[in-house]
Amino acid sequence: MKTYSQFIVEHNDGSSKNCKKGEYFCKDDHKCKPIPEGHHVMPDGKLMKGEKHSVEEGAAWTKKAGKNKEGGLNEKGRKSYERENPGSDLKAPQPEGGSRKKSFCARMGGMKKKLTSSKTANDPDSRINKALRKWKC
């Protein structure tokens, strides 16, 4: 039985990739060719223009590490979101009052009524209810 890495390097025609460093296997011509400048070879053997892709774990704001257990994003989550979305300026909750609180409570209260199921709306541990509690809405 072949290992995963052996399987990946094989091609549709059954030939194995024995190309030297700096070369890729061209499936059209069935031979090794030099990798053109500004290109890289993907794990499946396809040639792609641009810089090498790195496998990233994902942004903190989409994972548990970036979320506050009491609702909303923690500091790490806000910074992660701002890195991925330049120009954004997320701020911490403003539970003590002010125009941001008033706007947030009105917007999220409406979302809770219209966009959530009755199960989610009544669940004290749902993200929306946690956020509303955190903002003291």
Cα–Cα nearest to 92, from 83, 84, 101: 101
Cα 82 to Cα 59, 78, 88, 91, distances in angstroms: 10, 6, 6, 10
> What pLDDT is stored for residue 17 in this prediction?
58
What pLDDT does residue 11 have?
44
Segments making up each domain of the chain, as ranges: 4-49, 58-92, 93-137
Reply yes or no on whether the pLDDT at 55 is more than 50. no
Mean of pLDDT values over 90-111: 86
Predicted local confidence at residue 61, as pLDDT: 79
43 pLDDT higher than 80: no
CA distance readout (Å), 2 to 7, 8, 11, 14, 30: 6, 10, 14, 13, 22
Instruction: Average the pLDDT over each of 11-20, 64-73, 107-116 and give the range with the smallest value.
Output: 11-20
How many CB atoms are located within 10 Å of the residue 134 CB?
A: 15
